[in-house]
Chain A
Amino acid sequence: MCESNVYIDRAGHEELLMESVDRIIPAEDGSIFMENIFGERKVVKARIKEMELVHHRIILEEIDRPEVLERNQEIWLEPDTDHGHFHAGEEVVLKLSKGYNMKPDQGADYSAMEAFAVNEGAADPIHIHDHHDSKEINLGQEADGLLQIYVHEHGIRELYAKVVMEIGHHHHHGLQPLGLPLEIVPSDYSHACMGESYEIQVLQNGQPLAGAEVKVTYASTRSKDYPHHLTTSEDGRTKIFLSARGNYLFSVATQNITSTFTLVKSF
């Protein structure tokens, strides 16, 4: 058997959910992740009812919730610290996650990813390693300054995650873009605080991207979907008032790329 069409059984009536699926991963929370040969992905709250392998058909049956959660996966980085920065000489550890709306998906595939640390324009590859059930990037105790760390997942759909980390107490302004094909750049890197507005700019191949939808979420949201949806201005900028504690995640997508930027609030 190669790829299959996946159907969902709704009250005895079958509906085509996704064509040419080549990967299905059931998660512990009762959802099923699927991906097809075109790079499309879906997560549904369902169980496998029947697999007709000869006919390339997989039939799912809904459970619990009637709606189908349809969204693209994204990746993001968060520092393993509760105060937003690392001290010089401290072990710098970042957590890498894959999922949606800062909610990691169980069983996500991290195999096609590579990570880089960029300091003063030079990008050094860094190792992504397993840590319990998640992935981590450990920059050790030697890292210093204002680093930009990004992860790239190769595939039909390209995923990028970027974070700016302050190691020691360095105050810089005007970070240089990394040159990613789709990139979120903070307009003025400084310590972002709750109760203030924060502006970012979206660049596509180095040029401001106007009219792009930027979704914004934060770690403590109880919302299933992104709570904030912004649109970039003509110069690719948009801003949000920071009303929640903890880190924020900005996400922007084009047809083939999803790129995130984690805003780490520091004090």
Chain B
Amino acid sequence: MCKDLPPLERAVQFHGHVCPGLLMGIRVAEFAQKHLGVNQDIDEELVAIVETNSCGVDAIQSILGCTFGKGNLIYKDYGKNVYTIASREKKRAVRIAQKYRDKKSPESIRYRELNNQDHLTEEEEAEREDLLALIFENTMSAPFEDLFNWQDIDLVFPEKAQIHATIQCAVCGEGVMDSKATESAEGLICKACLLAKEGLA
């Protein structure tokens, strides 16, 4: 039998490319697994509360198995690279926050510069690949504490994801989760039809 993809490869495959943000997420996911003594989630044994929607979250989804679809990835739109990973079985949670650095490394500054350009010359493309390789090695080999602050916390565990019945929207006729439907003059309608009715869609 083939082995599973190594976590790092799994994250890159899921995200589609290697980038500094994904690498930071990989460090978080691998640390959390080791610290909590857990494997990849199968069915909501783990919970991840992420305070960003940037690249690193894809590493959380692919390595830890806390996914949007399973409902054990909880997104808080705070714009912070902060991740709380918790194990229901072990009743433990760890909060991991990326350290703020007011001085970026020269390779990071140049990489970002190149990445923001619409078009790269062949030389610039080669330079970008070189820089990414350097950032990759630095990120993966740096002591975890150099990159992140972390602490064990007491977490009030969120409820597991609920499965709701699907009803038919009285306006568009499409199926909608009953807990998300709204009573209206037409009957129970979905959010999209409600917004259209209110001229907000």
Where the two chains meet, the residues of A that have a C-beta atom closer than 8 Å to any C-beta of B are 83, 85, 193-195, 221-225, 227-228, 241, 243-245, 267
Contact = CB atoms under 8 A, between A and B. Distances in A.
B5 A243 contact: no
B129 A222 contact: yes
Interface string B55-92: 00000000000000000000000000000000000000
B2 interface: yes
B3 A227 contact: no
Nearest to A241: B137
B75 to A, nearest CB: 27
Given A195-B136, A243-B18, A243-B132, A227 B126 contact: yes
A243 B122 contact: no
A169 to B, nearest CB: 8
A224 B136 contact: no
A267 B133 contact: no
B129 A194 contact: no
Given A227-B130, A227-B133, A228-B130, 19 more contacts: A85-B2, A193-B9, A194-B6, A195-B6, A195-B8, A195-B140, A221-B129, A222-B125, A223-B122, A223-B129, A224-B126, A225-B126, A228-B133, A243-B18, A243-B132, A243-B136, A245-B9, A245-B13, A267-B5
B194 to A, nearest CB: 45
A193 B5 CA distance: 10
Nearest to A84: B2
Most chain B Cβ neighbours within 10 Å, of A193, A221, A243 = A243
Interface string B166-179: 00000000000000
Q: Considering the complex of A and B, which 3 residue pairs feature the smallest CB-CB distances, nearest first?
A: A223-B126, A243-B136, A243-B133
18 contacts: A83-B2, A221-B129, A222-B126, A223-B126, A223-B129, A224-B122, A225-B126, A227-B129, A227-B130, A228-B130, A228-B133, A241-B136, A243-B133, A243-B137, A244-B18, A245-B9, A267-B3, A267-B9
A209 to B, nearest CB: 24
A85 B2 CA distance: 9
A198 B3 CA distance: 20
B4 interface: yes
Contact of A194 (B2, B4, B9): B9
B12 A267 contact: no
A218 B16 CA distance: 16
Contacts of A224: 122, 126
A27 to B, nearest CB: 19
Contacts of A244: 18, 133
B44 to A, nearest CB: 27
Contacts of A222: 122, 125-126, 129
B119 to A, nearest CB: 12
Nearest to B23: A195
Nearest to B141: A241
A243 B135 CA distance: 9
Nearest to A87: B2
Contacts of A194: 6, 8-9, 12
Contact of A267 (B2, B125, B136, B140): B2
